[in-house]
């Protein structure tokens, strides 16, 4: 099966589409749960599938350090290793090198760094990142890029973007095409529309199966993020998937989808689940709050997850106060289920031409808050 993307319906700039891959079909817009080290934290693969998720994200940096890409390849690849036969997108490791590793030294060739785990020296280049992702058997491989710091001067952003474009060309040259597999380029350029346009043009000239918008949700604020998306999307091909990296809250997702994005990922729902925060149809709740101590009602009556259908809020509150691991497990499952339900509703709204009204109803319910 060849890799392909087809738009099925549009509503303004928003698209509902279908992604065909070697490991299955993905309906878009889609949210990808993050399985950084080969697991979506606190969930089994069956539980992730039960939420409706069809594609997950894993990370080159973490997996190259532990257990190692060669070992995963020897054991049959990441799909078998983590019990996920569906599509897997792997981040190239560029962000983690900049955010986690120590003693980084970047040059034209790549980045030399020391592991945050044991201080051991490593080096990542566009070629080695691409090869590691091949060993992992990633369905979608990401080009290696520099994570531009924020804030930064326009000249610093330009220099970083241009380096990332040179690395993108090398990533593409190192990539070995296979039926049903893809490699995405990453548009950089900070919040500068002209730099984003130049980056997108450079990536289209190289030629990828899809394109990501990187370097956002790093502190620039929602308004600047949306403005940057609006400035970037017109420079991307309409017949290829568009991926917004590392975003975000449900409201961020609504805005991104309305502006033409097809794929999103973020650690937010799983991280929130481990810290007692629940995303619900009535906004974000903190299960440690004393108001839930005696609450004999579901977390979210509209949610089909185990936390909502089998347990009361009082029980979830008790689990977190007692430090029981079941609390994070149940709440993570709920949050991932909520995000998948959110995306399913957006796809349906786009298909029927009612995205504006649907988004307004969602935001009104969030603003109304949780009833007493």
The reported pLDDT for the residue numbered 364 is 98
Q: Is 314 exposed, middle or buried (0-12, 13-18, 19+ CB in 10 A)?
A: middle
- Contact assessment for residue 174 and residue 133, using Cβ atoms and an 8 Å cutoff: no
- Contact assessment for residue 262 and residue 30, using Cβ atoms and an 8 Å cutoff: yes
Beta bridge partners of 199: none
Spatial distance between the Cα atoms of 232 and 187, rounded to a whole number of angstroms? 8
Same domain, 291 and 235: no
Same domain, 334 and 203: no
Q: Which of 266, 290, 305 is the endpoint of a domain?
A: 266
Same domain, 237 and 355: no
DSSP code of residue 291: G
Same domain, 89 and 123: yes
CATH number where 63 lies? 3.20.20.105
333 within domain boundaries: yes
Distance from the Cα of residue 160 to its chain's centroid: 22
The reported pLDDT for the residue numbered 65 is 96
The reported pLDDT for the residue numbered 127 is 98
Q: Any catalytic annotation for residue 252?
A: no
Please tell me the chain's helix, strand, coil percentages from 3-state DSSP, rounded to the nearest 5: 45, 20, 35
- Contact assessment for residue 200 and residue 192, using Cβ atoms and an 8 Å cutoff: no
Same domain, 216 and 278: no
371 within domain boundaries: no
Range of the domain at 170: 4-266
Q: Which of 216, 240, 266 is the endpoint of a domain?
A: 266
DSSP code of residue 34: B
Spatial distance between the Cα atoms of 179 and 213, rounded to a whole number of angstroms? 24
Same domain, 133 and 188: yes
Annotated active-site residue in 11, 145, 252, 265: 265
Same domain, 191 and 292: no
Number of domains in the chain: 2
HSE, side-chain direction, 13 A CA sphere, residue 243: 30
pLDDT, one tens digit for every residue, the chain (372 residues): 799 999 999 999 999 999 999 999 999 999 999 999 999 999 999 999 999 999 999 999 999 999 999 999 999 999 999 999 999 999 999 889 878 777 789 999 999 999 999 999 999 999 999 999 999 999 999 999 998 888 999 999 999 999 999 999 999 999 999 999 999 999 999 999 999 999 999 999 999 999 999 999 999 999 999 999 999 999 999 999 999 999 999 999 999 999 999 999 999 999 999 999 999 999 999 999 999 999 999 999 999 999 999 999 999 999 999 999 999 999 999 999 999 999 999 999 999 999 999 999 999 999 999 998
372 within domain boundaries: no
Q: Any catalytic annotation for residue 265?
A: yes
Annotated active-site residue in 91, 137, 262, 300: 91
Same domain, 76 and 167: yes
Name the strands in the sheet holding 182-187, side by side, starting at the edge strand that comes first in the sequence.
30-32, 263-265, 242-244, 210-213, 182-187, 140-142, 88-91, 56-59
Same domain, 83 and 31: yes
The reported pLDDT for the residue numbered 181 is 98
253 within domain boundaries: yes
Q: Which of 266, 285, 302 is the endpoint of a domain?
A: 266
**Helix extents (H) in 218-261:** 222-232, 250-258
């Amino acid at each position: 099966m060849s890799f392909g993307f087809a738009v099925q319906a549009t509503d303004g700039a928003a698209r509902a589409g279908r992604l065909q891959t070697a490991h299955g079909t993905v309906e878009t817009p889609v949210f990808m749960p993050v399985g950084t080290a080969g697991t979506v934290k606190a969930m089994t693969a069956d539980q992730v599938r039960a939420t409706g998720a069809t594609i997950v994200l894993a990370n080159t940096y973490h997996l190259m350090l532990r257990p190692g890409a060669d070992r995963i390849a020897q054991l049959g690849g990441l799909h078998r290793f983590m019990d996920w036969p569906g599509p897997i997108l792997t981040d190239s490791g560029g962000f983690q090198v900049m955010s986690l590793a120590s003693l980084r030294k970047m040059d034209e060739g790549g980045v030399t760094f020391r592991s945050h785990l044991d201080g051991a020296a490593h080096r990542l280049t566009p070629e080695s990142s691409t090869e590691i992702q091949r060993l992992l058997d990633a369905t979608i491989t990401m080009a290696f890029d520099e994570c531009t710091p924020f804030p930064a001067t326009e000249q610093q952003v330009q220099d970083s973007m241009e380096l990332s474009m040179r690395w993108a060309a090398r990533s593409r040259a190192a990539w070995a095409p296979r039926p049903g597999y893809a490699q995405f380029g990453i548009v950089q350029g900070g919040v500068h529309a002209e730099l984003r346009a130049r980056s997108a043009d450079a990536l289209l000239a190289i030629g990828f199966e899809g394109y990501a918008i990187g370097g956002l949700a790093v502190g620039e604020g929602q308004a600047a993020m949306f403005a940057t998306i609006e400035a970037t999307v017109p420079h991307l091909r309409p017949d290829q998937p568009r991926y917004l990296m590392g975003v975000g809250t449900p409201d961020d997702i609504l805005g991104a989808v309305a502006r033409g994005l097809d794929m999103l990922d973020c650690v937010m729902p799983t991280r929130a689940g481990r810290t007692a925060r629940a995303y619900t149809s009535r906004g974000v709740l903190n299960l440690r709050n004393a108001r839930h101590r005696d609450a004999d009602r579901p977390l979210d009556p509209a949610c089909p997850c185990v936390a909502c259908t089998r347990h009361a809020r009082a029980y979830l509150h008790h689990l977190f106060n007692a430090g029981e691991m079941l609390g994070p497990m149940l709440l993570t499952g709920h949050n991932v289920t909520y995000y998948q339900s959110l995306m399913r509703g957006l796809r349906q709204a786009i298909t029927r031409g009612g995205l504006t009204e649907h988004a307004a109803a969602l935001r009104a319910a969030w603003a109304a808050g949780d009833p007493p």
